[in-house]
Amino acid sequence: MNILDKIIVDKKREVILKKSIIPVSQLEASVFFGKETISLSQSLRISPTGIIAEHKRRSPSKSVINHDFTVEEVVKGYENAGACGISVLTDGKYFGGSLDDLLLARASVNIPLLRKEFIVDEYQILEAKAYGADLILLIAAVLTRQEIKSLSEFAKSLGLEVLLEVHSAEELEKSIMPTLDMIGVNNRNLKTFEVSLDFSKQLASQIPDDFVKISESGISSIEAITELKPYGYQGFLIGENFMKTDNAGKAATEFIEQLTKN
């Protein structure tokens, strides 16, 4: 069993437990549940840089990245740096995140927030909305076409945008549907953790222009973004590169300033 399979098995158990503790009615009573969401896809279409910065404490491939920052420090730093949106990891066991991180981020900034999670159930989408997310992530590698369809339709019914993550032509082919807003190509193979920008380059022409194209993982230089822009990418998700420094906001500011000059 690879790491992705393990995560999904744990996630399904976790969702069953959460459902038994917190009823849907409690999530729907959240102060954020009726809040109008902010569109990341619109922001990326008009942005000269397209940076989506990530709050991420650790990962299965890198172990600890950074435990020293508060969520508020990181996300305010990202917003001040000019990031288009912020991705917040909410998985606890493998990434050291939580829904409270999302809640604190929402209380701190007014730019689009992505709940970065392994979504396998509509309940997690209700949580995303209740805790202040503007969009959710669906991972094609762990979902069937029918699951992508029903989960994306449910997200849209709540006013949330949908970012679909793919890693291969097969995943892309099974997933394309009108209820998606953005398609992200993960440059990291979630089964082997090998990273290569070639994944983004190879899949670019197969992603219809109706969707905002996002390149995710392994982007640590201005050159990487310059290399990917001609392929039609408008969004670039960067986490580790900022989080591994002693000041994520400052690192993001310097990166975005340099990107703007280029």
**Residues marked as catalytic:** 54, 56, 116, 165, 186, 216-217
b/e per residue 220-244 (b: at least 16 CB within 10 A): eeeebbebbeebebbbbbbbbbbbe
Cβ(164)–Cβ(195) under 8 Å?
A: no
**Rounded Cα–Cα distance for residues 135 and 162 (Å):** 6
Residues near 98 by beta carbon (within 8 Å), at least 6 away in sequence: 90, 92
The answer to whether 75 and 87 have CB atoms below 8 angstroms apart is: no
Q: Which two tokens stand for residue 247?
A: 């000041």
Q: Looking at the DSSP assignment, which residues form a beta bridge with residue 185?
A: 166, 215
**Which residue type sits at 11?**
K
Residues forming beta bridges with residue 55, ordered by sequence position: 88
Give the count of beta carbons closer than 10 Å to the beta carbon of residue 56.
25
Q: Which of 237, 257, 241 is nearest to 51 (CA)?
A: 237
Give buried/exposed letters for 111-133 (b at 16+ CB in 10 A, else e). Answer: bbbbbbbbbbbbbbbbbbbbbbb
